[in-house]
Amino acid sequence: MQTAEISTCSTILPPVRVTDSQALKWDNQCDVLVVGWGAAGACAALEARANGADVLIADRFTGGGASAKSGGVVYAGGGTRQQRAAGINDSPQAMFDYLKHETCGVVSDATLRSFCEQSVANLEWLQGHGAPYGHEMPPGGKTSYPADGYFLYYSGNELVPSHGGALPPAPRGHRTVGKGQCGAVLYGHLKAACLKAGVRPVLQAAARRLVQDHQGRVLGVELWRLPPGSKAAHDHARLAARAERWQNLAPGYCDKLRQRVSQLEREHAQPYRVRARQGVILSTGGFIFNRDLMRQHAPAYRRNFKVGATGCDGSGLRLGQTVGAASTGLERVSAWRFINPPHCWPKGIVVNRDGRRFCNEEVYGATLGQPLMEEQGGRAWLVLDARLRAKAIRQALFGGYWWFQSVPALALMLLKPRKGKTPAQLAAATGMQAEALAQALQRNNAAARGEAEDAFGKSPGSREVLDQGPFYACDISVGNPIFPLGALTLGGLKVDESSGAVLDEQGQPIAGLYAAGRTALGIPSHLYISGLSLADCVFSGRRAGAAVVSASAEQTPLANNKRTPA
């Protein structure tokens, strides 16, 4: 294992293989063991518990993961209570038609349709476990994240003509009611529900390897657990929390904290084996914090700001791979280049290093970020004229945006943007090709005046003539430290789409092993839109939690007796 991985990630070892499970010393046992206590793990644990299983949930830290750091947005539609209260007509078919365009066949139509048809019930299920949702919609139609007091919004490309279907667009981003970033609110309710239901947590316990019998069935997991109540455990929790708290402002400092966290694990953690009579569910998130996996599968994204939590180190993926699990889509990364808000920014044009326009500026941030990273080498400019820049500055100052929306926008426009009295001078200041930039502006202006169609399908309401000098080019490239370009991984272990059972390279299920959330290939694994990951955590988590208990119930009493240690 390479040094970079050892310094920041949990260590993964080859599986322990035994001929007799009773001959192995187990420190604990349960029916279902869930590895990773984020939203997917919590949903899996709750569903398994509701089906009568004794559930133990393990986490490398103290729970929450990327879910607790998220905005708490759940993508839901088809006629939710909140949509109806807002006067929005939606249907599972309309939701399916839209998501089929966005997901591009990453899951089967049958699975996508089930996701849409279960959407209303899954949101009600979350509300039944205490998570509140509202119907208040923000003004202006489109935003990357609504201000406090607004909880239902268009969280993807629903309003973009090229992404719409035959049915009217509907807002499906359901932000959990709370103050600020509401992922912690959602996770807090899920965690409390788990504890109330009798789910047993084992914390500060990193999964190191799986345990299999001679036939390949997964029997349990070897965790490496810090001694509860020890100074090492206290320091581990303190440093890990600090790394999560300061990640947005000081990522380099936080990487050093993570190295110290991993060092504590290597020096003080002790093996703790858990027998799972019915099965193991892996739900540890993606691998954006694993440098080696990023270098291997998505090297173009190593400079991006990491969206996620320290536990997004690929441990679930790597555990599955040690027992022959197949994986797919590991090269798929969602890069977030949001240029709304300020709400008027999409009226500018985004061009590449040569000055050529390459996208519809009104699309969702990940839909813009993907071609920026994959096709333009991570480099692009947002071009504004003097009139549009002044309007954007006013919106950033007085528009009521979040600080993480307004401050970077103001910095981008005020701290040394490239400037030229004419497009030709702007091209000279940026290294663009003068003729390419001039043509991009001319075509944009013709479309804004109604003289031609927009080359990229931008809506008439998002078009504006850019002809008032001076002209400004704002650097929206991946390397700009004042305007970070976030990214998270989307691929994962291949699973049976009806159960979440992990599949091997031949497409056969690995007995006793399941996966959910970003550890598995799922609904958001082609291209992300806000709320789709948390919605899939609920969908795939509940699916795995129910399936592991159901599969065990279908086995004969004789087989169960053979697997249960004395």
Q: What is the pLDDT of residues 383-441, one digit of tens each?
A: 999 999 999 999 999 999 999 999 999 999 999 899 999 999 999 999 999 999 999 99
Classify 338-475 by CATH class: alpha beta
Alpha-carbon torsion 164, 115, 183, 274, what sign? negative
Percent of all residues in the chain with a pLDDT value above 90, rounded to a whole number: 90
* pLDDT mean across residues, the chain: 94
CB 516 within 8 A of CB 283: yes
Alpha-carbon torsion 160, 162, 163, 168, what sign? positive
Q: Give kind and range of the element (H or E) at residue 502.
A: strand 501-503
As a whole number, mean pLDDT of residues 29-58 equals: 98
CB 188 within 8 A of CB 231: no
Instruction: Please check the confidence at residue 4 and state whether its pLDDT lies above 60.
Output: no
Alpha-carbon torsion 211, 48, 325, 533, what sign? negative
**Whole-number pLDDT of residue 468:** 97
CA neighbours closer than 13 Å in the CB half-sphere of residue 391: 16
Given the candidates 3.20.20.140, 3.20.20.70, 3.50.50.60, 3.40.50.720, the CATH classification of the domain at 3-64+182-334+486-563 is: 3.50.50.60
Instruction: Please check the confidence at residue 555 and state whether its pLDDT lies above 80.
Output: no
The pTM of this model reads 0.94
Instruction: Please check the confidence at residue 255 and state whether its pLDDT lies above 50.
Output: yes
Q: Give kind and range of the element (H or E) at residue 532.
A: helix 532-554
Residue type for 310, please? T
Distance, CA of 348 to CA of 399 (rounded, Å): 18
| Residues sharing a CB contact under 8 Å with residue 465, sequence separation 6 or more, in sequence order | 444, 445, 448, 449
β pairing state of 270-282 and 509-515: parallel
In this structure, the number of other CB atoms found within 10 A of the CB of residue 486 comes to 20
Alpha-carbon torsion 510, 516, 517, 523, what sign? positive
Distance, CA of 175 to CA of 134 (rounded, Å): 8
Alpha-carbon torsion 203, 550, 490, 162, what sign? negative
Domains in the chain: boundaries = 3-64+182-334+486-563, 73-175, 338-475
Angle between helices 119-128 and 532-554 (to 10 degrees): 90
**Whole-number pLDDT of residue 566:** 24
